[in-house]
Amino acid sequence: MSRPPERESGVEALVARLRELRAARAHPPCEYPVLLDAALAELEHAGEALRHAEEAPPPGTGTSYPFKAIFDHLPWPVILADEQTVVRRFNTAAAELTGLPPGYAAGRPLAALLRPADRAALRAHAAAVARGEGDRSLPLRLQRAPEGPLYATLTGVEVPGERRRDVLLTFTPTAVPRPAGHIEGGTGPAAVVRQAELTGLLDRVDRALLSGKLPSAALGAATGLLREGLADWALLDLVGPAGPVRSAVHGPAAPDDAGLEKAFLRQAPLDCPVAVDVMTNGATVVEQLTDDLDGLGTDEEGTPLMAGADVTALLSVPLTAPDGTTVLGALTLLRTGGAPPFSLLEAASAEIAAGHMAVVAGRGRPGPG
């Protein structure tokens, strides 16, 4: 008597069905509603399996083992977030889709990965799902892939021992190119090349500072070089006798908003919260995947400059005098749209450049009495 074939595990069967659904994304758009309903049903099943797995883990394993097993093997990008869209877990496919390592993404707002117009919609739907008002699907656009929407399906997941519900999101992705210059770090060839580029950038900045120009002109030139090598926008604020002044603004040659550069130039540094923070505390501020609209203040019409410039990553470093305590200004670098976050290597290079700029800024200050 022949033995029946060995039965697949629940996870393996789920993965197989999801692979079929993933292959079906090539179907005409008119068939998407049916596919999305099927994906939602599978997510509900996965959520229930996760709940039971956390309540009763297999002997000899921690509670996270079944959870990781399901997440790591799902072929679609899957993200677990709370009701505020703060990421709790990424799977491998989600890391590939967003370009972010799972450990880095955890604890950061998922909404910050999206185009500004889609952030409020995701937050509202995630909060509704977490409240138990039903699962749903909606189109969303990533910062790094604004040309076409992804289809996100949200379903609630009960958290054992807690009264709240988390939100499980899955994305039907399109091909997403990795942004040019995106370096995850490490010691591979790309990281070595980037380090060489930053060394060359610091050399050019130092040459500009040693050019013999007036301090204000040398600092403005150095700010422009740092924008070219590190960011989409660079703002320089210096502490003067009457208070901080906006000394230099460098942005794209053809910004989407022609009035944005003027808005940055006209702004008083005391109306720019991040600059005030850096000049007051003398500490670097790094905001990766930021969706804080208040960080840069507003323009003359009250529009947040973070939204006007479509800022997704911010790095502001103090110009600290050689005495190690006196702060002479703040250098603020902004990345917009689909640009990647600042790496640790890039942040360190900006701090080195700011230290050299502080020497020149100190020479330009009037002496006592």
Q: Please, which residues have CB within 8 angstroms of residue 353's CB and are 6 or more apart in sequence?
A: 201, 202, 205, 222, 226, 331
Q: Is position 369 within any domain?
A: no
pLDDT digits (tens, 9 = 90+) for 293-312: 889 999 888 889 988 888 88
- Classify residue 278 as left (phi > 0), alpha (psi -120 to 50) or beta: alpha
Q: What is the pTM of this model?
A: 0.55
- Number of domains into which the chain is organized: 2
pLDDT digits (tens, 9 = 90+) for 356-369: 999 999 886 655 44
Residue 48 and residue 91 in one domain: yes
**Token digits of residue 72:** 């790591």
Q: Is position 184 within any domain?
A: no
Which of 113-127, 164-178, 216-230, 253-267 has the weakest average pLDDT?
Answer: 164-178
Beta bridge partners of residue 81, listed in sequence order: 87, 167
pLDDT surpasses 50 at 179:
no
Residue 132 phi/psi, 5-degree rounding, is 90, 25
Residue 249 and residue 292 in one domain: yes
Residue 267 belongs to domain spanning: 189-363
What is the average pLDDT value for the chain, to the nearest integer? 77
Amino acid at 19: R
Contact 21, 42 (CB under 8 A): yes
| Separation of alpha carbons 45 and 35, rounded Å | 15
pLDDT surpasses 90 at 337:
no
Residue 132 and residue 37 in one domain: yes
Contact 335, 313 (CB under 8 A): yes
Q: Is position 1 within any domain?
A: no
Residue 109 and residue 242 in one domain: no
Which of 138, 172, 206 is where one domain is finished?
172
Residue 154 and residue 203 in one domain: no
Residue 198 and residue 312 in one domain: yes
- Single out the residue of 24, 39, 28, 15 nearest to residue 137, CA to CA: 39
Locus of tokens 């079929």: 20
Residue 61 and residue 107 in one domain: yes
pLDDT digits (tens, 9 = 90+) for 97-136: 877 776 777 888 888 888 777 888 888 888 888 888 887 8
Residue 85 and residue 166 in one domain: yes
Which of 172, 205, 233 is where one domain is finished?
172
Residue 211 and residue 352 in one domain: yes
Q: Is position 324 within any domain?
A: yes
Which of 172, 207, 240 is where one domain is finished?
172
Residue 20 and residue 96 in one domain: yes
